[in-house]
A and B are shown apart, each in its own frame.
Chain A
């Protein structure tokens, strides 16, 4: 079993929809990261969380330390949000989930 599990693996949405991507982990962590990777592109850090909730524009990330679970929400999705979203957790090293491929259609 992977130490970091993401769901769903693939997600399609219509423009304007509310999107949720989930991340569960089975190890003790000091922080959790949400990352974005566009096709053929580099990897960009969206959020780093150790507790609670963070918001940046249309993106919201939450974490529940007791349940070892985090969610990334995108409100009013747009085609430019199409990308792979990756969850990563800090132990003594970084452990990545396999990513969620999101496609938003106009």
Chain B
């Protein structure tokens, strides 16, 4: 099993450009999440999904859109990148909490995005 795979690993964008980050998991997880991690601020939830075809806003959703057309994939889009979106982005997935014993969180390795 590959676990959670994030692509790309690194990206540099100019202000106003768009891009899509892909998160793919092969563990049949229902829940998927996108987080950003900034120095001194911990992990902040951008958007999340509790199942195929559903998405919900997290703590810092502005400037991002997501889609979960297939259960295994959760896409994060930046329509018009801004320097404030320079960050490290992590995707995570899990089974429905409490429904599967010993089902930990699985994280991707992160995407380091710089917007100039």
CB pair B109–A94 under 8 Å, yes or no, is: no
In the complex, what residues of B have CB within 8 A of residue A47's CB?
104
Among listed B15-23, B37-45, B66-74, B75-83, interface-contacting one: B37-45
Cα–Cα distance between A44 and B90 once the two chains are bound (Å):
12
Known contacts A31-B98, A48-B102; is-contact A93 B107 (Cβ 8 Å): no
Q: Taking CB as reference atom, which chain A residue is nearest B49? A: A93
**Number of B positions contacting A (CB below 8 A):** 26
In the complex, what residues of A have CB within 8 A of residue B40's CB?
98
Quick one: which of A41-95 are within 8 Å of B by CB?
Answer: 42-45, 47-48, 50, 86, 88, 90, 92-95
CB pair B105–A45 under 8 Å, yes or no, is: yes
Q: Which residues of A contact B (CB under 8 A)?
A: 30-31, 33, 35, 42-45, 47-48, 50, 86, 88, 90, 92-99
- Which 4 pairs from chain A and chain B are nearest by CB? A45-B104, A98-B42, A90-B97, A30-B98
22 A-B residue pairs with Cβ-Cβ distance under 8 Å, sorted by A, are A35-B105, A42-B90, A42-B107, A42-B108, A43-B92, A44-B107, A45-B107, A47-B104, A48-B102, A48-B105, A50-B98, A88-B43, A88-B105, A90-B94, A90-B97, A92-B50, A93-B45, A93-B48, A94-B48, A96-B43, A96-B45, A99-B42
